Chain A
Amino acid sequence: MTEQGQITSSRVGRIAALAGTGALMGINYLKHYGRRMVTGETGQEALHLSNAAAVYKTFSELKGGPLKLAQMLSIDKNVLPRAYSDQFAMAQHSVPPLSYPLVVKTFRREFGREPTELFDTFEQKAAHGASIGQVHRATRCGHLHAVKVQYPGVAKSLRSDLRVIKPLALQMFGLKENDFRDYFHEVEQKLLEETDYTLELKNAEMLVSASPGLDNIRFPSYYAGLSSAHILTMDWVDGLTLDKYVQTKPGQAERDRIGQALWDFYGHQVHTLRVFHADPHPGNFLVKNGLLWVLDFGCTKAIDDGFYRKQFRFLDPELLENQGALEKALEGFNVILSADTDAERREMVTICAQTLSVLAKPFHADEFDFGGAEFMNSMWKLGERNRDNPFLREVKGRRGSPDSVYVNRTYFGLYSLLSRLGAKVKTRGLTVCQNEPKHRI
Chain B
Amino acid sequence: METEILPNLEMRNQLIEAYIRYLGEHGQPPVTVTRFCKDNGFDEGSFFKEFGSFDALEAAFWGGLVSRVADAVKAGAEWNGFAARERYLAFLYAFVEHSLGNRSMLLLRLKGVSPFTRFPALRKMEARFKEFADMVVSHGVSTGEIADRGLLRSFYPDALYIHFRGVMQFNLQDDSEGYERTDEFVEKTVTFAFELIRSQAIDSAFDLGKFLFRGAVEGEA
Binding site for B on A (CB under 8 A): 2-5, 7, 9, 98-102, 104-105, 108-109, 116, 124, 152-153, 156
Give the Cβ gap from B64 to chain A, nearest Cβ, in Å.
22
Residue among A5, A105, A156 making CB contact with B93, cutoff 8 Å: A105
- Find the residue from A101, A104, A116 having the highest chain B CB count within 10 A: A101
Using a CB-CB cutoff of 8 Å, which residues 166-183 of chain B contact chain A? Answer: 176, 178, 180-181, 183
The 8 closest A-B pairs by CB, nearest first: A101-B89, A152-B183, A101-B90, A105-B93, A152-B180, A9-B188, A153-B180, A153-B184
Tell me how far the C-beta of B143 lies from the nearest C-beta in chain A, rounded to whole angstroms.
15
Contact with A along B71-104 (1 / 0, CB 8 A): 0000001100110011001100100010000000
* B187 proximal to A (CB < 8 A): yes
Whole-angstrom CA separation of A102 from B185 in the bound complex? 11
Taking a contact as CB atoms under 8 Å apart, the answer to whether A105 and B176 are in contact is no
Is there a chain A Cβ closer than 8 Å to B192's Cβ? yes
For residue B195, CB closer than 8 A to chain A, the reply is yes
List the B residue with the shortest CB-CB distance to A102. B187
Q: Are B89 and A99 in contact (CB under 8 A)?
A: yes
Q: Which residues of B contact A153 (CB under 8 A)?
A: 176, 180-181, 183-184
Residue on B with the closest CB to A3? Answer: B191
Establish whether residues B85 and A99, one from each chain, have CB atoms under 8 Å apart when the complex forms. Answer: yes
Are B191 and A102 in contact, with the CB atoms below 8 A? no
If A100-B86, A102-B183, A105-B97 are given as contacts, then 12 extra A-B residue pairs at C-beta distance below 8 Å, sorted by A number, are: A3-B191, A4-B187, A9-B188, A99-B187, A101-B82, A101-B89, A101-B90, A102-B93, A102-B187, A116-B77, A152-B187, A153-B181
Contacts of A2 in B (CB 8 A): 191, 195
Q: Which residues of A contact B77 (CB under 8 A)?
A: 116
Known contacts: A105-B97, A116-B78. The answer to whether A98 contacts B187 by CB under 8 A is yes
| Cα separation A179 to B7 with both chains bound (whole Å) | 74
- Give B183-217 interface residues, CB cut-off 8 Å to A: 183-184, 186-188, 190-192, 195
Q: Which residues of A contact B86 (CB under 8 A)?
A: 99-101
Residues of B within 8 A of A (CB): 77-78, 81-82, 85-86, 89-90, 93, 97, 176, 178, 180-181, 183-184, 186-188, 190-192, 195
Total number of residue pairs linking A and B with CB closer than 8 Å = 56
Contact present for B81 and A124 (CB under 8 Å): yes
Complex Cα–Cα for A116 and B89 (A): 18
Would you list 14 pairs from A and B whose C-beta atoms are within 8 A, ordered by A residue? Answer: A4-B187, A5-B191, A7-B188, A9-B188, A99-B187, A101-B89, A102-B93, A104-B90, A108-B97, A109-B178, A152-B181, A152-B183, A153-B181, A153-B183
A4-B188 contact, Cβ under 8 Å, with A105-B183, A152-B180: yes
**Which residues from A are CB-within-8-Å of B93?**
101-102, 104-105
Report the minimum CB–CB distance from B177 to chain A (whole Å).
Answer: 9
Nearest residue (CB) in B for A7 is: B188
CA A98 to CA B86, docked complex, whole Å: 11
For B184, the chain A residues whose CB sits under 8 A away are 152-153
Cα-based distance from A109 to B82 in the complex (angstroms): 21
Q: Does more than half of chain B's interface fall in helix, strand or loop, or is it mixed? A: helix
**Does A4 lie within 8 Å of B176, measured CB to CB?**
no
Distance, CA A99 to CA B86, complexed state (A): 7
Q: Which residues of B contact A109 (CB under 8 A)?
A: 178
- How distant is A352 from chain B, measured CB to nearest CB, in Å? 45
Distance (whole angstroms) from the CB of A384 to the closest CB of chain B: 40
* Complex alpha-carbon distance, A105 and B85, angstroms: 15
CA–CA, A65 to B62, complex, Å? Answer: 42
A124 touches B78 (CB 8 A): yes
CB-CB < 8 A to B90: which residues of A? 101, 104
Q: How far is the CB of A104 from chain B (nearest CB, A)?
A: 7
Q: In the bound complex, how far is the Cα of B82 from the Cα of A100, in angstroms? A: 9
CB distance from B91 to the nearest CB of A (A): 9
- Closest residue of chain A to B178 (Cβ to Cβ) is A109
Contacts of A101 in B (CB 8 A): 82, 86, 89-90, 93
Nearest A residue to B85 by beta-carbon distance? A99
Asked whether A156 and B180 contact (CB < 8 A) given A9-B192, A102-B89, the answer is yes
Q: How far is the CA of A366 from the CA of B191 in the complex (A)?
A: 56
Min Cβ gap B211→A in Å is 29
Instruction: Indicate which residue in B97, B176, B191 contacts A156 across the interface (CB closer than 8 Å).
Output: B176
- Complex Cα distance A7/B195, Å? 13
Tell me the minimal C-beta distance from A230 to chain B in angstroms.
9
Min C-beta distance of B131 to chain A, whole Å: 20
CB distance from A248 to the nearest CB of B (A): 36
| A7–B191 CA distance with the chains assembled, in angstroms | 10
Docked complex Cα distance between A153 and B190 (Å)? 17
Q: What's the minimum C-beta distance from B70 to chain A, rounded to whole angstroms? A: 14
Across the interface, name the chain A residue whose C-beta is closest to B182.
A152
User: How many Å lie between the Cα of A109 and that of B176 in the bound state?
Assistant: 14
Q: Complex Cα distance A116/B181, Å?
A: 25
- Greatest chain B CB density within 10 A among A4, A5, A99, A109 is at A99
- Inter-chain CA distance A156–B190, complex, in Å, is 21
Name the A residues within 8 Å of B81 (CB-CB). 124
**B187: which A residues are within 8 A, CB to CB?**
4, 98-99, 102, 152
Interfacial chain B residues near A124, Cβ < 8 Å? 78, 81
**Cα(A102)–Cα(B90), bound, Å:** 8
Inter-chain CA distance A102–B176, complex, in Å, is 17
A4 touches B191 (CB 8 A): yes
What residues of B have a CB within 8 angstroms of the CB of A7 in the complex? Answer: 188
Q: How far is the CA of A116 from the CA of B79 in the complex (A)?
A: 13
B93 → A minimal CB distance (Å): 4
> In whole angstroms, what is the CA distance A108 to B98 when docked?
12
CA gap between A3 and B97 in the complex, in Å: 23
Kindly list chain B residues whose C-beta atoms are within 8 Å of the C-beta of A104: 78, 90, 93
A2 to B187, CA, bound (A): 12
Q: Which residues of A contact B192 (CB under 8 A)?
A: 9
Cα–Cα, bound, A9→B184 (Å): 9
- Measured between beta carbons, the chain B residues less than 8 angstroms from A4 are 187-188, 191
